[in-house]
Amino acid sequence: MAERFPPAIAFGTGDIDREHLLRAGVRLDLLLIVISTVVMPRAFLLVWPFVF
């Protein structure tokens, strides 16, 4: 099961510190927010005509 969590393995060995993981996580969260706010309305407009 450990092969499913490479960041946890790297953190556990001490190669990566907590702040590095948090910075990467915040960047990914912000990227996901931007992508979802741009893509979801367009996907909604694309799918909506097929609903009704």
Question: In the chain, how long is the greatest CA-to-CA distance?
Answer: 55
**Residue 2 clears pLDDT 60, i.e. is over it:** no
**pLDDT value, residue 34:** 92
**Residue bearing the bigger pLDDT, 26 or 12:** 26
| Prediction pTM value | 0.57
Q: Coil, strand, or helix at residue 2? A: helix
How much is the average pLDDT of 20-32?
Answer: 88
**Residue 1 clears pLDDT 60, i.e. is over it:** no
Closest CA to 24 of 10, 13, 40: 10
Q: Is 16 exposed, middle or buried (CB count within 10 Å of its CB: 0-12, 13-18, 19+)?
A: middle
